[in-house]
A = this chain, B = another copy of it.
Amino acid sequence: MVTLKDLAKELNVSVSTVSKALSDSHEISEKTKEKTLELAKKRNYIPNNTAVNLRRKSTRTIGVIIPNIFNHFYTKILSGIESEAKKNNYKTIVSISNETLLSEKEGLDFFSNGSVDGVLLAPSDETEKLNEVEHFFELKRKGIPFVLFDRYIDNLNVDKVIVNDLESSRNVIQYFLDDGRQNILVVSLLKNLKIGDLRKQGALLDDTIDLLEHDEEIGFEIELREKIENKKIDAIFALDELSGIIALNLIRQKQIDIPKEVAIISFSQGILSKYSYPKLSIVNQYAKEIGAKSVELLLERLKDNDKPVETKMIKTSLEFNQTTL
């Protein structure tokens, strides 16, 4: 590894001269700058990031804790975070909690030790279910700037980016009703998740609406099959993509006509629903925006730690597809 010292020695100048020359300081003569630049290039000099960070007391890096990397929704958020961060000359470092509380805590510990300037975080399933939130409060106590996205935690007074789930759900149901559909079934694989709560609340607009929720795919499919066989249903609203796809496939398997006999709409972020046949109509969540907004909020917080806490809401949109509606 070649350091400033090495260059200085070879150029017969001091370390500080080299440092200034490389950062194009006006204090240094053009001639010296030239020579220095040339040698730096020749020797493949790269500033040691660790040393720079230590000196600057900033890393220009954002830590991201994400529950699940197999969920297209989160990869899209991640991609939004990445590009917004890059735009602002920040790097991103990702820790995947795999929906476990332990991993989430480990990730936070790692991020708390000066590796990053701030943290973007979506709590894991487990964290939500156990409602174990002490580590978030501790993070705050430690004074580490962070932004919560997608999922939320009660009473935690930090910057947040959320989605208008409740309202979106209402809109979907209203759409079905306006379309003359009377026997609506709401399905979900989000049992016990806070995020599911809001969607559910919005969906159960009146008591004619039936609900089937489960926390596991196989069981869900079995129960759904029964429901479809035993009950008249003319519309299905899936609160998550997976239950939407499973419902779609089941309906097709039963040779039930979509959308004439049963219409389907699902919360989704695109990948499974895009390549399903027929294509699902979806409630699009603009995951990229969620990521970008989170970065934005964090950078503002980094600039001014005293500014009042903010909550940004990202609106969903209904994306109709005539083959399922």
Question: What is A's interface to B at a CB cutoff of 8 Å?
Answer: 1, 44, 46-51, 53-54, 59, 69-70, 72, 75-76, 78-79, 82, 91-96, 110, 112-115, 138, 141-142, 242, 245-246, 248-249, 252-253, 271-272, 275-277
Contact = CB atoms under 8 A, between A and B. Distances in A.
Contacts of A46: 112-114, 142
A50 B82 contact: no
Contacts of A78: 69, 96
Closest 9 CB pairs of A and B: A249-B277, A49-B113, A48-B114, A93-B93, A50-B54, A50-B53, A46-B113, A49-B114, A245-B275
Given A96-B79, A96-B82, A50 B114 contact: yes
A248 to B, nearest CB: 8
Contacts of A242: 275
B49 A115 contact: yes
Contact of A79 (B69, B82, B246): B69
Given A49-B113, A277-B249, A142 B44 contact: yes
Given A50-B59, A72-B70, A277 B275 contact: no
Nearest to A83: B98
The quantity of this chain's copies bound in the complex is: 2
Nearest to A248: B277
Contact of A94 (B72, B94, B110, B141): B94
A20 B263 CA distance: 67
A59 B48 CA distance: 12
5 contacts: A46-B112, A50-B54, A245-B275, A249-B275, A253-B277
Nearest to A106: B86
A124 to B, nearest CB: 15
Nearest to A275: B245
A48 B95 CA distance: 19
A292 to B, nearest CB: 15
Nearest to A70: B75
A31 to B, nearest CB: 27
A82 B96 CA distance: 8
Contacts of A142: 44, 46
Nearest to A279: B249
A238 to B, nearest CB: 13
A241 to B, nearest CB: 9
A95 B90 CA distance: 12
Given A50-B59, A50-B115, 13 more contacts: A44-B138, A44-B142, A46-B142, A69-B79, A70-B72, A75-B75, A79-B96, A82-B96, A94-B94, A245-B275, A248-B277, A249-B275, A272-B272
